[in-house]
């Protein structure tokens, strides 16, 4: 069992415990207000009505100011006693909702952040097909499109396909095709741009990619309007005419 799964189980147990505590508190409120069987809003409304109309015993009597004051204080104490569990109940309900929402969000994050083993193996199988020698351009594009369907998880594998010699032209074009298709999804586009910008940043100080691969990456930052690439492009090494043209074109595309 992974650490993430253990965390989710702990949260689920906490939610169950909190729900049990709220049920017990609700029973106390019902005993105080005589509102058993009503919905929550009806229970609260009934309690407010009771508190707004003091019983006859709480009204000042002819016994004088002191007697009336004592009765009022006694009734006020009962009000506080009744309101306390209601306040705890409402806060508890709010916290329960917040915990449940956080639990669901955490589940989504885990599902988005990790591919299961079966999906990983399926994507790897597609990449192996893409890397077959003598693959045709149209077939390569079809496979790259399927790889791109894995969303952010396909970003790095497809970008690495850009860093090939010219003899692997179908694979290069297929990878660019797949990466462009990913840009149609906003979350995938953000992840793709972030990865491309990091690649360019590495390339300012080291030969992280071959020059041809770097040129393709630069082309994509301009095509996808990756704003984060704007301050990095001027720092890339110059001297290769094709790469220089790609840098200039991407810089122009990202200019304000």
Q: Is 151 left (phi over 0), alpha (psi -120 to 50) or beta?
A: left
Give yes or no: residues 83 and 147 share one domain: no
Give yes or no: residues 39 and 137 share one domain: no
Dig out the tokens for 70 from the structure: 């004592």
Give yes or no: residues 92 and 166 share one domain: no
- Supply the range of the domain harboring residue 30: 3-113
Surface-to-core class of residue 177, CB atoms within 10 Å of its CB (0-12 exposed, 13-18 middle, 19+ buried): middle
Residue 110's pLDDT is 47
Mean pLDDT of the chain: 73
Q: Which of 113, 140, 158 is the endpoint of a domain?
A: 113
**Is pLDDT larger for residue 1 or for residue 14?**
14
* pLDDT, tens digit, 9 for 90 and up, residues 152-198: 788 888 888 888 776 677 888 899 899 888 888 777 888 889 989 99
Most confident of 86-90, 158-162, 241-245: 241-245
Give yes or no: residues 128 and 238 share one domain: yes
Confidence band of 109 (pLDDT split at 50, 70, 90)? very low
Give yes or no: residues 142 and 103 share one domain: no
Give yes or no: residues 61 and 170 share one domain: no
The total of other beta-carbon atoms located within 10 Å of residue 148's CB is 26
Dig out the tokens for 186 from the structure: 């906003």
**Inter-axis angle of helices 186-203 and 169-182, to 10 degrees?**
130
CA separation for the pair 196, 180 (Å, rounded) = 13
**Is pLDDT larger for residue 65 or for residue 214?**
214
- For the entire predicted model, the pTM comes to 0.51
**Is pLDDT larger for residue 78 or for residue 226?**
226
Dig out the tokens for 232 from the structure: 């990095």
Please say whether the beta carbons of 247 and 217 come within 8 A. Answer: no
Domain count, the chain: 2
- The average pLDDT across 77-94 equals 52
DSSP string for residues in 62-96 = TT-HHHHHHHHHHHHHHHHHHHHHHHHHHHHHHHH
Shortest CA distance to 50 belongs to which of 38, 61, 62? 38
Give yes or no: residues 133 and 235 share one domain: yes
Give yes or no: residues 137 and 249 share one domain: yes
**Is pLDDT larger for residue 217 or for residue 58?**
217
State phi, psi for 60 to the nearest 5 degrees: -55, 140
Give yes or no: residues 122 and 213 share one domain: yes
Surface-to-core class of residue 205, CB atoms within 10 Å of its CB (0-12 exposed, 13-18 middle, 19+ buried): exposed
């Amino acid at each position: 069992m992974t650490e993430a799964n253990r965390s989710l189980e702990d949260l689920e147990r906490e939610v169950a415990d909190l729900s049990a505590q709220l049920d017990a508190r609700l029973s106390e409120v019902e005993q105080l207000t005589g509102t058993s069987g009503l919905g929550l809003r009806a229970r609260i409304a009934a309690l407010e009505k009771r508190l707004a109309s003091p019983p006859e015993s709480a009204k000042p009597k002819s016994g004088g100011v002191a007697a009336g004051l004592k009765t009022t204080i006694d009734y006020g104490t009962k009000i506080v006693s009744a309101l306390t569990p209601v306040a705890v109940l409402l806060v508890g309900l709010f916290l329960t909702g917040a915990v449940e929402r956080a639990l669901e969000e955490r589940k989504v994050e885990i599902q988005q952040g990790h591919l299961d083993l079966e999906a990983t193996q399926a994507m790897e199988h597609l990449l192996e097909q893409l890397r077959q020698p003598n693959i045709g351009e149209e077939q390569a594009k079809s496979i790259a499109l399927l790889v791109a369907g894995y969303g952010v998880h396909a970003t790095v594998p497809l970008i690495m396909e850009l860093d090939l010699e010219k003899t692997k032209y179908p694979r290069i074009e297929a990878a660019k095709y797949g990466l462009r298709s990913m840009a149609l999804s906003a979350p995938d586009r953000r992840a793709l741009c972030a990865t491309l910008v990091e690649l360019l940043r590495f390339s300012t100080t080291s030969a992280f990619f071959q020059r041809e691969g770097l040129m393709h990456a630069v082309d994509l930052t301009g095509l996808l309007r990756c704003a984060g690439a704007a301050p990095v492009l001027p720092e890339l090494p110059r001297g290769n005419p094709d790469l220089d043209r790609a840098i200039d074109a991407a810089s122009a595309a990202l200019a304000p």
